[in-house]
C-alpha cells in the first residue's frame, strides 16, 4: 500500500504542481484548501495531467472540527503544509489576518495532526527568513535575520514553532523547505501561477509586458553592486520545487528530527537576464525603464543548494530557458 500525503493549500500554485509530482511518484494524495485564493480548477487539471486524482476537501485549516474529520477519513502518513497568505505588501497592511491564517493556522494544523497521530510535516518556508546581510550564497546554517515584512515574519514564527515541537518529542519529524523564487509552470501548460489582482513579483509582470497587457516593466534599481546593476535572485522552476517535496516526504517517512533545506538552483540571475529570457521565449520585446529601488529589496539572494543535493538526492532539472518557456506557454495557452 502506498503512503498517503495530505497537502494543505493543495489548490494553489505550488500545491497543484507538488501534487502532480506526488501522484506521479506513486503517493496517494488528499488536498485540503479553503479556496480563498485559488479555485478548484487547478486540481481538476491535475487529474487531466496525471490521470489520477487527489481526494479534495474544502476546509480551512483553522476549522479544527473540519480538519479532525479530514484526518479521520484520510489517515495520512505525512502532511505538506503550503496553505498561507503570501502577498508581502498586503501583509504589511493586514498583519492580523496574516498572523491568524499563517501562524494560528499552523498551530491548529499540528494540534489536529497530534490528535490524529500523524507527526510528519514538510513546511513551506522562504529564503526571506535569512537576514538581509547574510553572505551569499546562503546555506541552511546561515543565521536567520530580522524579517523585512510581516509575511516573512509569519514564516520565521512558524519555523520556530515547528522546531520547538520537534524538540519537545522524538515522535515528530519536521522538514523546513526554504524556497527561493519559484517561477514557471507545468510543461503541459494546464496549471501555473494565477496571481490574484495586480501582480507584484517579477515573472508575472514580465509575462504581462510580453503579452501586451502591461505597457512596460519597471526595473527597481539600476545601481546595485551586481554585474548589470540590477538585483540578483535565484529563480527556480516550480516543477523542481514539486520534486523537492516528493524527496522531502520520502525522507520524512524514514527519518526523525527537524531538518532544514534550501530549494534553489544556486545560480544568481539579474532582473535584466530574466527579462531577456522571457523575451527570447516569447519572441516579444519587453520595454522597460529604470525606477527607484523597492524598499527593503536585497541586492543579491541565492542558495547554497548542496545540502538538498547531498541529503535529499534532489537537484534542479530545469534551467532559466525552461522556466521562461513554460511560464510563457502557460500565459499563452491555458490560464484557469
Ligand atoms: C518577493 C518577496 C518575498 C517572496 C518572493 C517570492 C518582496 C519584498 N519580497 O521577493 O518575500 O518570498 O517574492 O514570491 O516583495 N522587480 C522589478 N520590477 C518589478 C518587480 C520586481 O524590478 O516590477 C525586481 C525586484 O526588485 C527583485 C526581483 O525583480 O530584484 C524579483 O522580485 P520578486 O519577484 O518580487 O521577488 P523577491 O524580491 O525575491
pLDDT score for 336: 45
- Tell me what pLDDT residue 194 has: 87
Using the predicted structure, report yes or no on whether residue 131 has a pLDDT greater than 80. Answer: no
> What mean pLDDT comes out for the span 48-77?
98
Answer whether the bond into residue 289 is a cis peptide, omega within 30°. Answer: no
Whole-number Å distance, alpha carbon 202 to ligand 1 midpoint, is: 6
Q: Measured in angstroms, how far is the CA atom of residue 8 from the centroid of ligand 1?
A: 24
Q: Cα(22)–Cα(79) distance, rounded to whole angstroms?
A: 12
* Residue 166 alpha carbon to ligand 1 centre in Å: 32
**Ligand 1 closest atom vs CA 151:** 11
| Range in 44-48, 144-148, 153-157 the model is least confident about | 144-148
Please report the beta strands in the chain, taking only residues with DSSP state E, as ranges in sequence order: 4-8, 28-33, 55-58, 78-81, 120-126, 173-179, 181-183, 217-220, 232-233, 235-237, 257-263, 269-270, 288-291
Ligand 1 lined by 147 (C-beta under 6 Å):
no
What pLDDT was estimated at residue 138?
97
Query: Is the pLDDT score of 186 beyond 60?
Result: yes
Q: How many angstroms separate the alpha carbon of residue 136 from the centre of ligand 1?
A: 17
Predicted confidence at residue 254, as pLDDT, reads: 97
Indicate whether 335 pLDDT > 70. Answer: no
Local confidence band at 134 (pLDDT 50, 70, 90 cut-offs): confident
Q: What DSSP designation does 101 have?
A: I
% the chain with pLDDT above 90: 93
Look at residue 195 in the predicted model and tell me its pLDDT: 74
pLDDT at 236: 98
Across 87-91, 159-163, 167-171, least confident range: 87-91
Is the CB of 297 inside a 6 Å radius of any atom of ligand 1? Answer: yes
Tell me the C-alpha to C-alpha distance, in Å, between residue 181 and each of 71, 186, 276: 31, 16, 17
Pocket probe for ligand 1: among 183, 228, 241, 294, the residue whose CB has the most ligand atoms within 8 Å is 294
How far is the CA of 157 from the CAs of 6, 12, 134, 154, in angstroms?
22, 22, 19, 5
If pLDDT is split at 50, 70 and 90, which confidence band does 160 have?
Answer: very high
Which ligand 1 atom minimizes the distance to the CA of 126? Answer: 12
Q: Are the CB atoms for 74 and 55 separated by under 8 Å?
A: yes
Instruction: Give catalytic residues, as residue numbers.
Output: 151
Which pLDDT value is given to residue 124?
Answer: 98
| Pocket flag, ligand 1, residue 231 (CB < 6 Å) | yes
Q: State which ligand 1 atom lies nearest to the alpha carbon of 301.
A: 39
pLDDT at 60 over 80: yes
- What is the whole-number distance in angstroms between the Cα of residue 258 and the centre of ligand 1? 29
Place of cell 538581509: 132
Ligand 1 atom with the smallest distance to the CA of 296 is 8
For ligand 1, atom 15, name the residue with the nearest CA. Answer: 88
Confidence band (pLDDT; 50, 70, 90) for 334?
low
* Whether the predicted pLDDT of 196 surpasses 80: no
237 to 5, 39, 315: CA distances (angstroms): 22, 22, 11
Amino acid at each position: 500500500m502506498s503512503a498517503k500525503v495530505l497537502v494543505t493549500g493543495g489548490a494553489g500554485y505550488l500545491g497543484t504542481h507538488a501534487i502532480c509530482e506526488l501522484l506521479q511518484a506513486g503517493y496517494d494524495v488528499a488536498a485540503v484548501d479553503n479556496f480563498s485564493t485559488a479555485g478548484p480548477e487547478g486540481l481538476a487539471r491535475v487529474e487531466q495531467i496525471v490521470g489520477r486524482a487527489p481526494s479534495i476537501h474544502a476546509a480551512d485549516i483553522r476549522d479544527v472540527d473540519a480538519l479532525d474529520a479530514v484526518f479521520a477519513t484520510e489517515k495520512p502518513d505525512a502532511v505538506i503544509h503550503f496553505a498561507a497568505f503570501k502577498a508581502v505588501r498586503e501583509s504589511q497592511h493586514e498583519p492580523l489576518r496574516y498572523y491568524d491564517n499563517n501562524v494560528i493556522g499552523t498551530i491548529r494544523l499540528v494540534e489536529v495532526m497530534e490528535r490524529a497521530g500523524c507527526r510528519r510535516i514538510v513546511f513551506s518556508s522562504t529564503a526571506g527568513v535569512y537576514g538581509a546581510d547574510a553572505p551569499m550564497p546562503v546555506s541552511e546554517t546561515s543565521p536567520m535575520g530580522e524579517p523585512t515584512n510581516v509575511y516573512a515574519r509569519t514564516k520565521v514564527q512558524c519555523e520556530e514553532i515547528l522546531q520547538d515541537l520537534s524538540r519537545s518529542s522524538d515522535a515528530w519529524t519536521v522538514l523546513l523547505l526554504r524556497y527561493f523564487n519559484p517561477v514557471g509552470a507545468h510543461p503541459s501548460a494546464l496549471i501555473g501561477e494565477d496571481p490574484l489582482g495586480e501582480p507584484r513579483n517579477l515573472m508575472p509582470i514580465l509575462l504581462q509586458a510580453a503579452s501586451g497587457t502591461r505597457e512596460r516593466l519597471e526595473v527597481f534599481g539600476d545601481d546595485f553592486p551586481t554585474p548589470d546593476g540590477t538585483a540578483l535572485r535565484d529563480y527556480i522552476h516550480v516543477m523542481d520545487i514539486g520534486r523537492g517535496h516528493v524527496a522531502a516526504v520520502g525522507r520524512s517517512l524514514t527519518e526523525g528530527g527537524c531538518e532544514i533545506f534550501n530549494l534553489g538552483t544556486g545560480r544568481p540571475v539579474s532582473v535584466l537576464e530574466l527579462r531577456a529570457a522571457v523575451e527570447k521565449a516569447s519572441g516579444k520585446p519587453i520595454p522597460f525603464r529604470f525606477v527607484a529601488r523597492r524598499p527593503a529589496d536585497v541586492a543579491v539572494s541565492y542558495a547554497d543548494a548542496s545540502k538538498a543535493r547531498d541529503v535529499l538526492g534532489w537537484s534542479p532539472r530545469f534551467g532559466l530557458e525552461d522556466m521562461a518557456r513554460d511560464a510563457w506557454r502557460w500565459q499563452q495557452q491555458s490560464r484557469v
